[in-house]
Amino acid sequence: MPGQVRSTFSPRAGAAPAPAGRPQTGGLMQAQAKDPLPMPMPPKETVPGGDAPKAPILGVAPRDNRDLFDAYVRLEPPGREKVFGARETEKELELRFSQLEKDAGRERILFPEKPALTADEQQVTRNLAPIAFAVEPSYVVYRRLYFEEKNAERYGWDFGAVLQPLVSTAYFISDVVWLPKHCASFPHRRFDTNAGLCWPGDPVPYLLYPPEFTVSGSLVETAVIIGLAVAIP
């Protein structure tokens, strides 16, 4: 008939006929599986604090749907008092945990009893002698130096046996000329320190230290020069 599908399978000569009840498809023998026996259903029980048990899957009993941490996990954020103001003692913490377990439908937590460390209530007073430490500072405080050549005396610069005496003499004459200004400058600061200066012997370049002019130092220096000019004809 037109439109009817016909099989083009031709059995092989000498092949054993297929047994009854087993269909033959593509020359392969397929066994018809029997229907499995239904698995017994476990008795339905009501679980406190959880949902009803579900039907078993592949014969495995469902797990308990009760969340063991439902009393601890909180979805809402804690308040300010919970975060900053919670100052509980150990006894209050144990009572709160026990109450959480009771609210979740479980038994209370039984914490072990704490043994007494000692039965003697006498307080021990320790009288320790004070300990004194001598701390040496990393700087030196000294009186102000009005005659000083830092390049040669502190940092070790030397121009030789001929030039160095001339340089030192020029520094000394300059300090003598500006001595009134040095004495009158910063009258409230009578001490100096080496804090912030390089250590003696450090590789420091040759530096020039021009005189610092202040109002008080300039007035005293001018008065001394005028007085010497008037006193010495």
Q: Above 50 in pLDDT, residue 85?
A: yes
Pick from 139, 159, 140: which is nearest to 149 by CA? 159
**pTM reported for the whole predicted model:** 0.40
Q: Determine the pLDDT at residue 64.
A: 53
Question: Is 197 exposed, middle or buried, given 0-12, 13-18 or 19+ CB atoms closer than 10 A?
Answer: middle
Of the candidates 89, 107, 86, which has an alpha carbon nearest to the alpha carbon of residue 98? 107
Rounded to whole angstroms, the Cα distance separating 164 from 122 reads 79
Q: Determine the Cα–Cα distance for residues 169 and 162; give it in Å rounded to an integer.
A: 12
pLDDT of 95 above 70 = yes
Using only C-alpha atoms, what is the Rg of the chain? 52
| CA gap 70, 101 in Å, rounded | 9
Residue 27 has pLDDT above 50, yes or no: no
